[in-house]
Amino acid sequence: MSANDPERSLSPSTVFELLADPSRRGVLYALSESDDGIRYERLVDGLLRREITPFDDRRRLRLELHHTVIPRLTASPFVQYDRRTRRLRLTDPQSELEPYLEFARSMDRSR
């Protein structure tokens, strides 16, 4: 299935909803920089180190990721989470999400 298939197409509203939250953006940035996905704990470490999310407490960040961020991202057709290996990955790194993600990244860097 390609990113151009109608069942994978995201509306602009959905894309902007995914990118509206700093924690979701942080996860998407990290995943877009990885070819084979990222293990959950490494993701938590990276988000804390980069200070991308509003959380500075590891426990609170893990709770937010587990209960809110990851479920929302995996509800989209662009992120998969393997519970067995605790690894997240983009389903198609060259997807239609990429231009929006690059724009959001450039805006975050300019702040």
Entry pTM = 0.84
Q: What is the Cα–Cα distance from 31 to 37, expressed in whole angstroms?
A: 6
Q: What is the mean pLDDT of the chain?
A: 86
Distance of CA 58 to the CA centre of its chain: 18
Q: Which domain holds residue 77?
A: 12-106
Residue 53 placed within a domain: yes
1, part of any domain: no
**28-60 exposure pattern, b = at least 16 Cβ within 10 A, e = fewer:** bbbbbebeebbebeebbebbbeeebbebeeeee
Per the structure, the count of domains in the chain is 1
Residue 70 lies in a domain: yes
The answer as to whether 5 is a domain residue is no
How many Cβ atoms are within 10 Å of 89's Cβ, its own excluded?
A: 17
Q: Which two structure tokens, joined as six digits, stand for 95?
A: 């997807």
Give per-residue pLDDT as tens, 54-108. Answer: 666 888 899 999 999 999 999 988 899 999 999 999 988 667 888 999 999 999 8
